[in-house]
Structures are given as C-alpha cells and as structure tokens.
Structure 1
Amino acid sequence: MTDKLSLRLVPDELSELVEPLLPVFTPRRQGGGIAPTDERAVFTAVVLGQAVRVSAAIRVDGS
C-alpha cells in the first residue's frame, strides 16, 4: 500500500530509478533470518529522514 506522503516523497519514476540499485532478497537454505521488507517503504523512510534532517539544518542556519 502506498499513501499520499509516500508518493510525494518517492514518486513512481524515482522508485523505478532506485529499484535496480537495491539488493535482492535471497532466502537462506536452512531457513531463519529476517523476512523481506517492502523496499519502497524502506527507501521512503530514508528519504523522509533526509528531508527532516535538511529541514532542521536550514532552521538552525536561519537560511
């Protein structure tokens, strides 16, 4: 599921550009490990974190 904020931060075009750069999940033969996570959701979280960081830096600088 993709909500409005996700689409604004990471439009489909950007998601398509980034997708080939992300590692492919390969399950382990013996099982266990971490279940795969939606790559777009993780990338959106990274973009949001960077946007908040830049916004905070601009406020501190007064620019």
Structure 2
Amino acid sequence: MGFYYLLLLFIGVVLLGVGVLKGFFAPVKKSMLLSVTGIVFIVTSLLLLMPGSSDVISKLLTSLFY
C-alpha cells in the first residue's frame, strides 16, 4: 500500500507543479483547481504515510459518525 501512497504523492507534486506553471499562461480558475487538487493529494498521502495513521483515521471516522 505504501507504493500507492507514494504514487499519490508524486501525482500531487506533478499537479501542483502544473498548476503553478499554468498559472502564468492559463485562466486562474484552471490553475487554481490544479493547485488545490495537488495540495489535497499531497496532504492525503503524507497523512497516510505517517506511522499510526490508521489510529488517527479511525478516531476521525468515529468522531464524525457517532
């Protein structure tokens, strides 16, 4: 599963880079969407790669639904 988390991190970095580079040439809305999506992917993958992330996610889910 760690391979997929690293793949998600790589995709997030690429999306963030494309969003920043397209910010100079494309409309702001499209570059902002790419940048925000990249940031969400990066944060998600780093959260999942943390030791003990399953405990954090289980506590988050139980606090949301109960």
- Mark yes or no: TM-score above 0.5: no
- Structure of higher CA gyration radius: 1
TM-score of the pair, normalised by structure 1? 0.35
Higher relative contact order (CA 8 A, sep 6+): 1
- Please identify which structure carries the higher helix content: 2
